[in-house]
Structure 1
Amino acid sequence: MRYVKVTWHHDFTDEPTVFFHEVGEDNWETRRVQLYRDGRAEWADESRDTPTVGLAEIEIAPIQEIASQPEFDAEEISKREFETQWSAARNQS
């Protein structure tokens, strides 16, 4: 597994600004957390998605490819950092 944090720089009030991805060896997302400006957090995994958050329908691109787009910052994070965000999001819902 690898863990990726992507920050999306934009002015949309109803769109998430930070994504945390758990990605399998096959580059498919297995869990996701989305954070919003208003403090809301949403999550999805292989057994749960909602109208506003679900797992990616394509493989997760390499970090360098994501980060090459000016509106995104992307970095590898630790499993511990992902799990902290995952627990917080699950406790909110």
Structure 2
Amino acid sequence: MSEHTYIRVLWLHGAPSDPVDLWSELDRNRFETRKLEIFRDGTIGYACATETAGGSRLGTVPVPSLAEIAADKQFQLVVISRSAFEHRWNTRNSNASSSR
């Protein structure tokens, strides 16, 4: 079993102040270790143990199961590869926001 799970969740809503594209690296207990929050205008917030930007913070409780996320109609769940997450993580500063 892999040490981490990588997910991408598209959040279907109309609130301009909330992210619409969420990328998360989860540990074996389903806690976020890194996350990206992409907003409708293209700005990116992110968080990990050592840095944050754009008001993003790591969650303090485990992320729900994949089945629970997929069952909620406001979310579209995509299980992604580590390499896809790493690529997106490594390009996070191109649109990061420090003022959100």
TM-score for the superposition, normalised by structure 2: 0.85
Amino acid across the alignment from 1:87: N
In structure 1, the partner of 2:10 is: 7
Residue 39 (structure 1) shift: 0.8
> What are the ranges of 5 or more consecutive residues in structure 2 without an aligned counterpart?
none
1:13-32 aligned at under 5 Å gives the runs 13-32=16-35
Q: Over the residues paired in the alignment, what is the CA RMSD in angstroms? A: 1.4
Residue 63 (structure 1) shift: 1.1
Q: 1:32-82 CA distances to partner (integer Å, 9 max, x unpaired)?
A: 001111111111001223572100111011111011111001121001111
1:1-93 aligned at under 5 Å gives the runs 1-50=4-53, 52-93=55-96
Tell me the number of residue pairs that the alignment of Structure 1 and Structure 2 aligns: 93
> What are the ranges of 5 or more consecutive residues in structure 1 without an aligned counterpart?
none
Amino acid across the alignment from 1:46: A
